[in-house]
Structure 1
Amino acid sequence: MRKDLFNFGPALGYFFRKPDPTRHTNFNLRTMHFINKLSMAMFLVGFIVLLYRWFLR
Protein backbone atom coordinates (compact mmCIF):
# COMPACT_ATOMS: atom_id res chain seq x y z
CA MET A 1 0.00 0.00 0.00
CA ARG A 2 1.29 3.43 -0.89
CA LYS A 3 1.96 5.83 1.97
CA ASP A 4 0.94 8.93 0.01
CA LEU A 5 -2.53 7.57 -0.74
CA PHE A 6 -4.09 9.34 2.24
CA ASN A 7 -1.92 12.46 2.16
CA PHE A 8 -4.43 15.30 2.64
CA GLY A 9 -1.81 18.03 3.09
CA PRO A 10 -2.27 19.66 -0.34
CA ALA A 11 -6.08 19.66 0.00
CA LEU A 12 -5.94 21.26 3.44
CA GLY A 13 -3.31 23.71 2.23
CA TYR A 14 -5.73 24.85 -0.47
CA PHE A 15 -8.13 26.07 2.23
CA PHE A 16 -5.58 27.80 4.45
CA ARG A 17 -2.94 29.23 2.15
CA LYS A 18 -2.35 32.95 1.90
CA PRO A 19 -2.78 34.82 -1.39
CA ASP A 20 0.38 35.11 -3.47
CA PRO A 21 1.08 38.84 -4.10
CA THR A 22 3.08 38.10 -7.27
CA ARG A 23 0.24 36.21 -8.95
CA HIS A 24 -2.27 38.17 -11.06
CA THR A 25 -5.88 37.69 -10.02
CA ASN A 26 -9.22 38.73 -11.42
CA PHE A 27 -12.91 38.28 -10.62
CA ASN A 28 -13.26 35.01 -12.55
CA LEU A 29 -10.31 33.39 -10.80
CA ARG A 30 -11.48 34.48 -7.33
CA THR A 31 -14.99 33.22 -8.10
CA MET A 32 -13.67 29.87 -9.32
CA HIS A 33 -11.61 29.37 -6.15
CA PHE A 34 -14.57 30.35 -3.95
CA ILE A 35 -16.85 27.86 -5.71
CA ASN A 36 -14.20 25.12 -5.40
CA LYS A 37 -13.80 25.75 -1.67
CA LEU A 38 -17.56 25.87 -1.16
CA SER A 39 -18.13 22.62 -3.04
CA MET A 40 -15.38 20.82 -1.07
CA ALA A 41 -16.83 22.08 2.22
CA MET A 42 -20.35 20.96 1.22
CA PHE A 43 -19.01 17.53 0.25
CA LEU A 44 -17.27 17.15 3.61
CA VAL A 45 -20.40 18.17 5.51
CA GLY A 46 -22.48 15.69 3.51
CA PHE A 47 -19.93 12.95 4.09
CA ILE A 48 -19.94 13.62 7.83
CA VAL A 49 -23.75 13.46 7.87
CA LEU A 50 -23.65 10.13 6.03
CA LEU A 51 -21.09 8.72 8.47
CA TYR A 52 -23.25 9.89 11.37
CA ARG A 53 -26.33 8.20 9.93
CA TRP A 54 -24.51 4.94 9.19
CA PHE A 55 -22.67 4.53 12.49
CA LEU A 56 -24.79 6.25 15.11
CA ARG A 57 -28.26 5.09 14.15
Structure 2
Amino acid sequence: MEPGVPAAEHQTFLKLIYKAERAISRLEQFWAVAARYAKRGYVFLGTATAAVVVIWLRT
Protein backbone atom coordinates (compact mmCIF):
# COMPACT_ATOMS: atom_id res chain seq x y z
CA MET A 1 0.00 0.00 0.00
CA GLU A 2 1.23 3.48 -0.81
CA PRO A 3 2.12 5.76 2.09
CA GLY A 4 -0.47 8.39 2.82
CA VAL A 5 -3.34 6.60 1.06
CA PRO A 6 -6.13 5.42 3.38
CA ALA A 7 -6.94 1.72 3.19
CA ALA A 8 -10.56 2.35 2.11
CA GLU A 9 -9.47 4.45 -0.87
CA HIS A 10 -6.87 1.85 -1.78
CA GLN A 11 -9.49 -0.92 -1.83
CA THR A 12 -11.83 1.20 -3.94
CA PHE A 13 -9.02 1.85 -6.40
CA LEU A 14 -8.19 -1.87 -6.59
CA LYS A 15 -11.84 -2.72 -7.24
CA LEU A 16 -11.86 -0.30 -10.18
CA ILE A 17 -8.65 -1.80 -11.56
CA TYR A 18 -10.02 -5.35 -11.34
CA LYS A 19 -13.27 -4.25 -12.98
CA ALA A 20 -11.34 -2.71 -15.89
CA GLU A 21 -9.15 -5.82 -16.22
CA ARG A 22 -12.23 -8.07 -16.37
CA ALA A 23 -13.80 -5.85 -19.04
CA ILE A 24 -10.65 -5.95 -21.17
CA SER A 25 -10.45 -9.71 -20.70
CA ARG A 26 -14.01 -10.09 -21.97
CA LEU A 27 -13.27 -7.89 -24.98
CA GLU A 28 -10.23 -10.01 -25.83
CA GLN A 29 -12.51 -13.03 -26.24
CA PHE A 30 -13.57 -11.50 -29.55
CA TRP A 31 -10.90 -12.35 -32.10
CA ALA A 32 -11.31 -9.23 -34.22
CA VAL A 33 -10.89 -6.99 -31.18
CA ALA A 34 -7.98 -8.93 -29.68
CA ALA A 35 -6.06 -9.13 -32.97
CA ARG A 36 -7.01 -5.59 -34.01
CA TYR A 37 -7.67 -6.93 -37.46
CA ALA A 38 -9.14 -3.69 -38.86
CA LYS A 39 -6.68 -1.28 -40.44
CA ARG A 40 -8.88 1.79 -40.06
CA GLY A 41 -9.61 3.29 -36.66
CA TYR A 42 -13.32 3.76 -37.25
CA VAL A 43 -13.70 0.11 -38.30
CA PHE A 44 -11.91 -1.04 -35.14
CA LEU A 45 -14.08 1.26 -33.03
CA GLY A 46 -17.21 -0.19 -34.64
CA THR A 47 -15.98 -3.74 -34.01
CA ALA A 48 -15.18 -2.96 -30.39
CA THR A 49 -18.56 -1.28 -29.96
CA ALA A 50 -20.35 -4.30 -31.41
CA ALA A 51 -18.39 -6.58 -29.05
CA VAL A 52 -19.34 -4.42 -26.07
CA VAL A 53 -23.02 -4.53 -27.07
CA VAL A 54 -22.90 -8.33 -27.36
CA ILE A 55 -21.25 -8.60 -23.93
CA TRP A 56 -23.82 -6.20 -22.49
CA LEU A 57 -26.72 -8.20 -23.92
CA ARG A 58 -25.32 -11.49 -22.60
CA THR A 59 -25.11 -10.21 -19.01
Using structure 2 for the length normalisation, give the TM-score. 0.45
Q: Whose relative contact order is higher, 1 or 2, with alpha carbons under 8 Å and at least 6 apart?
A: 1
User: What TM-score, normalized by structure 1, do the two folds share?
Assistant: 0.46
